[in-house]
Structure 1
Amino acid sequence: MTSTERAHIAMFSIAAHGHVNPSIDVIRELVARGHRVSYAIPASFAGKVAATGAEPVIYTSTLPTDEDPDAWGTELIDNIEPFLDDAVQALPQLAAAFAGDEPDLVLHDITAYPAPVLAHRWGVPAVSLWPNLVPWEGYEEEVAEPMFADLKASERGKAYYARFAAWLAANGVDTHPDRLVARPRKAVVLIPRVLQPNADRVDESVFSFVGACQGERAEQGTWQRPAGAEKVLLVSLGSAFTKQPEFYRRCVEAFGGLPGWHVVLQIGAFVDPAELGELPANIEVHDWVPQLSVLREADAFITHAGAGGSQEGLATGTPMVAVPQAADQFGNADMLASLGVARHLPMADATAGALRSAVLELVADPEVARRAEEIRRGMAGEGGTGRAADLIEAELPAVRRAPSSP
């Protein structure tokens, strides 16, 4: 690491585990290197942020939270309008919070629309911390344009884009709304390159893949394999789309009493364990578990294929059965399957028999084990947290990158 002057770095994100968790170890490393990090976040995540040594900068958000996933609606416009609504009301809060204490560098999650606007206002560089797959050359024509064509032709969609463009123009930002976040000047990508579709067409002068930035996560606690457990299976659908009691009952049916197997079943905050019926002795149920600690012991992982869970499975060399629920999870599931370390099992097809067969076949296949270990070793060489921090420090203004005095 090149020695750097102490800088003030501002990080911006939303109150969602899938967007905060990927940045946590990077923020901890920047603080350890002597930088002052202010992290703009709603109050519900202030404790998680403070544990890194960063200073939480609290703002009020209007976005739905992980506790209310149904509030996102069902149509594409329902999914994107809340981010603009939140940005418009959050920008004055954030500008006031940093008034007189403007940072030297802005870091931001892809959901934090006010961040690049503030960086423009302050005249400082902005770096996106990207927690999932990135656009490749040709992405707009191949994916975005077909996906958004009907929306852009609708009255509601036209009103959305007009409002977004007017908000940017009022803040002196001459950028099309579609490009504000999707085409950053610089991005540190917090997933392994193997999870990226069309990786050969990604502009790596902009998007730098650093792989998993997981840290030890000692603050989450640890999990130990029970004595006598020959094989361990983790089942988790993440933190948001977990209201799936029928799916969990299928898992109990599939693996309850299966000789040699111990099952860790994470059911989230929306399901009462009583809904699962009588549980066999080899199944433990929790609303939350220290996932990475469990995966370090696990032989298989049934996952929703979120970006975080997917890379944790890859980083620990754990074969996966991907049962995606929403958003980018379907693409991640296909990518995991194409890597030869997972099966993509759509929710409608995830019967008890199908789940059991998929897990047992994966664990018995030596080629799956070989490929999982190959990917695990490759990810370990991507640099992770240390490389992410190096790339961020390289974006600090030149005066801040001068070597410190002995």
Structure 2
Amino acid sequence: MARVLVVITPAEGHVNPSLGLVTQLIDNGEEVVYVCTEEYRSRIEQTGAQLLTYPFPQDAFSHDPVLKPQEYKHPYQFIYMMVGGIIRRMIPNVLRVIENQKFDYLIFDSLMGWGGTILAEKLGIPAVCSIASFAFVEPLGAGQSSNDKESDTEGLYETTMKITRELALEFQVRIPALEEIPAHAGRLKLVYTSRYFQPQAEKLDDSFIFTGPSIIPRQDAPTFSFELLRERYPQTVYISMGTILNKNLDFYRLCFEAFGDLPVNVVLSSGRYTCMEPLADRIPNNFIVKPYIAQLDMLQYTDVFITHAGMNSTSEALYNNVPLVMIPLTSDQPLVANRVQELGAGVTLNKHTLSATDLREALTEILSNPLYKKQAHLIGESLRNAGGYKRAAEMIMNHFAKV
């Protein structure tokens, strides 16, 4: 069987979707070497893969000025983040830790963009692009209104291309055009969603394989008495703002104000590194606040999910037929939220003008209108029927068996 190199950006929303695929590839007989950071050792090694690590700040996507998520108002901002924040930092490290090793094919994270092409070319092997969000028909920031002074597009272009030329020289590869850097490369592009949920799917060719979300149980999830929820109230609302942008205590105060007197269970996952002490005496009786909850389990008991509309969280909710109240914060989240709302499975709120009244009205609307649940089920059905990580592994292995 083949020896596979997997290189994924060290971020929850990118590593987690790859785990089911890696597990299945190994179960099918492939040997997998996974290059990532020490932070993800436990869950990666649980797949059976060999882990090789390199240094990368654990909180880079929360605090690093280049990597920290933002609202991209021009494509150059996103492309600069890829080149300056990811490719320049990851590719030399990856090549160092795999030096003198041989592989049959590569699976790389789409957020690496051109970096995946560099790896494939240096190793002389074909590649698969792992796309943890929607496949981008256009790069993030395209079509957004922007002020040239604010975005400094000319300066961003020059800075990005300067770094790109330096990297091309260092690795002895062709200098790409700017628009090639974020493009989804590789012989296959693996998209962890359904063709139905993917926006503008008709513009994507047959190299894009839609397999639905790669969902496997988390082995390190804490226990939670889900069965006790229904003893309190018949309906349950779950709130989680992801792993990077979850420290906003003002938002949690709004949730207390909006839902504290409603006859519903409200389960709030505040994040492992969020200090809730300032709000400890303000938590309403119908709230259960925990630093971390097994989300896949929680969603099986959830009537409405209040979320930042990250792709992983959104997909997991819809996979379980759960409609959403969405407050997109950054990156691809507005795109994801817009698609959910377009298909009738949720309501999107504006983070800049958000009020307790907005939250309460959105939740009440979804709880009282069964159409949202119906539409969530429709999307969920498309995700469940897409085949998941088992089909993804089969498609990849079949493709390379023919090469």
Instruction: Kindly state the Cα deviation for residue 27 of structure 1 after the two structures are TM-superposed.
Output: 1.0
Q: Which moved more, 1:62-71 or 1:322-331?
A: 62-71
Match of 2:36 among 22, 41, 57: 41
Q: Is the 8 A contact 1:233 1:299 kept in 2?
A: yes
Aligned residue identity for 2:198: Q
Match of 1:191 among 170, 190, 193: 193
Identity %: 25
Instruction: Kindly state the Cα deviation for residue 342 of structure 1 after the two structures are TM-superposed.
Output: 0.2
Return the TM-score normalized by structure 2. Answer: 0.88
Match runs of 1:6-405 below 5 Å: 6-61=1-56, 65-68=60-63, 72=67, 80-81=79-80, 83-85=82-84, 86-112=86-112, 113-136=114-137, 139=138, 143=142, 153-168=153-168, 170-174=170-174, 175-185=176-186, 186-203=188-205, 205-221=206-222, 223=224, 224-226=226-228, 227-259=231-263, 261-276=264-279, 277-396=281-400, 398=402
Instruction: Kindly state the Cα deviation for residue 59 of structure 1 after the two structures are TM-superposed.
Output: 1.1
Distance in 2 between residues matched to 1:221 and 1:62, nearest whole Å: 25
Distance in 1 between residues matched to 2:248 and 2:141, nearest whole Å: 33
Q: Is the 8 A contact 1:84 1:164 kept in 2?
A: yes
Instruction: Kindly state the Cα deviation for residue 318 of structure 1 after the two structures are TM-superposed.
Output: 0.5
Distance in 2 between residues matched to 1:23 and 1:341, nearest whole Å: 26
Q: Which runs of 5+ in 1 are unaligned?
A: 1-5, 400-406
Distance in 1 between residues matched to 2:391 and 2:195, nearest whole Å: 14
Instruction: Kindly state the Cα deviation for residue 291 of structure 1 after the two structures are TM-superposed.
Output: 1.0
Cα displacement string for residues 229-259 of structure 1 (whole angstroms, at most 9, x for unaligned residues) = 3111110111111121111111111112422
Q: Name the CA shift for 1:92/1:27 in 2 (closer, same or farther; >3 Å).
A: same
Partner SS, residue 163 of structure 2? helix
Q: Is the 8 A contact 2:324 2:346 kept in 1?
A: yes
Q: Name the CA shift for 1:287/1:69 in 2 (closer, same or farther; >3 Å).
A: farther
Q: Which moved more, 1:91-100 or 1:348-357?
A: 91-100
Distance in 2 between residues matched to 1:148 and 1:12, nearest whole Å: 36
Q: Name the CA shift for 1:66/1:183 in 2 (closer, same or farther; >3 Å).
A: closer
Distance in 2 between residues matched to 1:23 and 1:336, nearest whole Å: 23
Q: Which moved more, 1:243-252 or 1:164-173?
A: 164-173
Distance in 1 between residues matched to 2:194 and 2:147, nearest whole Å: 27
Q: Is the 8 A contact 2:232 2:265 kept in 1?
A: no
Q: Is the 8 A contact 1:63 1:82 kept in 2?
A: no
Distance in 2 between residues matched to 1:133 and 1:342, nearest whole Å: 18
Q: State the superposition RMSD in angstroms.
A: 2.8
Aligned residue identity for 2:395: L
Distance in 2 between residues matched to 1:336 and 1:164, nearest whole Å: 36
Q: Is the 8 A contact 1:262 1:282 kept in 2?
A: yes
State the match for 1:402 in structure 2.
Answer: none
Distance in 1 between residues matched to 2:145 and 2:184, nearest whole Å: 18
Q: Which moved more, 1:243-252 or 1:348-357?
A: 348-357
Cα displacement string for residues 51-77 of structure 1 (whole angstroms, at most 9, x for unaligned residues) = 111111101236852453666466866
Q: Name the CA shift for 1:239/1:253 in 2 (closer, same or farther; >3 Å).
A: same
Cα displacement string for residues 254-313 of structure 1 (whole angstroms, at most 9, x for unaligned residues) = 112422x11111122453222224222221112221111111110000010011111111
Q: Name the CA shift for 1:18/1:301 in 2 (closer, same or farther; >3 Å).
A: same
Distance in 1 between residues matched to 2:245 and 2:315, nearest whole Å: 18
Cα displacement string for residues 1-24 of structure 1 (whole angstroms, at most 9, x for unaligned residues) = xxxxx2111110122111111111
Instruction: Kindly state the Cα deviation for residue 153 of structure 1 after the two structures are TM-superposed.
Output: 4.9
Q: Which runs of 5+ in 2 are unaligned?
A: none
Distance in 1 between residues matched to 2:3 and 2:109, nearest whole Å: 17
Distance in 1 between residues matched to 2:87 and 2:120, nearest whole Å: 14
Q: Name the CA shift for 1:129/1:149 in 2 (closer, same or farther; >3 Å).
A: farther
Q: Is the 8 A contact 2:240 2:307 kept in 1?
A: yes
Aligned residue pair count: 390
Q: Name the CA shift for 1:141/1:134 in 2 (closer, same or farther; >3 Å).
A: closer
Partner SS, residue 10 of structure 1? strand
Q: Name the CA shift for 1:51/1:63 in 2 (closer, same or farther; >3 Å).
A: closer
Q: Which moved more, 1:126-135 or 1:178-187?
A: 178-187
